[in-house]
Amino acid sequence: MGSVILLLPLVGFGLVNGEDRSKWKEPRNHSRHHHPLKKIKVDPSGYGDFKTIQSAIDSVPSNNKNWICIYVRIGIYREKVMIPMDKPFILLQGERRNNTIISWDDHTTLAESPTFSSFADNFSARHIGFKNTYNLEDRMQKNPRVPAVAAVIAGDKSSFYKCNFFGLQDTLWDMQGRHYYKSCHIEGAIDFIVGMGQSIYERCVIYVISRMLDPNGIWEYPGYITAQGRNSPTESNGFVFKNSAVYGNGAAYLGRAWRDYLRVLFYNTSLSNIVVPQGWDAWDVDGHE
């Protein structure tokens, strides 16, 4: 085993096996001089092409090679949504992230619980919220605390802009692949950013709600923000929080080691006094810090 926590500079994060991140195929900024994206409209009131997000995704051709925008009107979408591996180049565009929300309450395991799942490469989401309500909305006292994932991201070259992620335990399963999060709000209490992704979180709000773990409000039970899962010193994955802010209503560790070679970096990020003085927890690899 090697070091559990490695605080490394950003040098090298732009290249993966010699590939320049700048060559990622991102959705173009289509102006009136470009052919617009094909757009599919989702409206629960029936004034769009589909009433549910999943039915819109199902309409995308397999092995699609051109960006398709699924435009989602304001609403609470009570459904589990999954983008399969063979449907790349989808842009999921909400109207406003606080009012355009995909919500469900499945639970128990990481694999079974996600409200939203994306397994395709070249996926992007903007102005939309993802929520798992199993332990939220006054349900913590009724339901036992178990993994309840709001979103799992497993495709390569995935990006999120001004999106919300709400849950308690394992809120965002940043499973694998290269991911970019910009100006997102991520909320939870236990391991709520977890996985083996190679990801940058830029100008994001990381909000800890660990007071829900302790109804007496004395902050006796701190939470954990990250549980990163690097297995070996040669793996390129890790989490970088850049120009972000960490605060909330309860105490928390910055992270704990889900695998032996956890790599997490908080760079130029504001850490409030909710962060416990120890900072990190070695979890099951104690002694190898």
Q: Which residues are catalytic?
A: 170, 191
**Residue whose structure tokens are 């051709």:** 61
Cα–Cα dist 81/115, whole Å: 6
Query: CB of 192 within 8 A of CB of 169?
Result: yes
Cα–Cα dist 144/158, whole Å: 32
**CA neighbor of 255 nearest in space, from 204, 188, 165:** 188
Amino acid 29 reads N
DSSP strand pairing (252-256 vs 280-281): parallel
Rg (CA), the chain: 19
Helix ranges (H only) for 142-224 are: none
**Residue whose structure tokens are 């909000």:** 207
**CA neighbor of 118 nearest in space, from 94, 150, 95, 163:** 150
**CA neighbor of 249 nearest in space, from 231, 222, 283:** 222
DSSP strand pairing (185-188 vs 205-208): parallel
DSSP strand pairing (19-20 vs 15-16): antiparallel
Q: Which distant-in-sequence residues (6+ apart) come within 8 Å of 144 by Cβ?
A: none
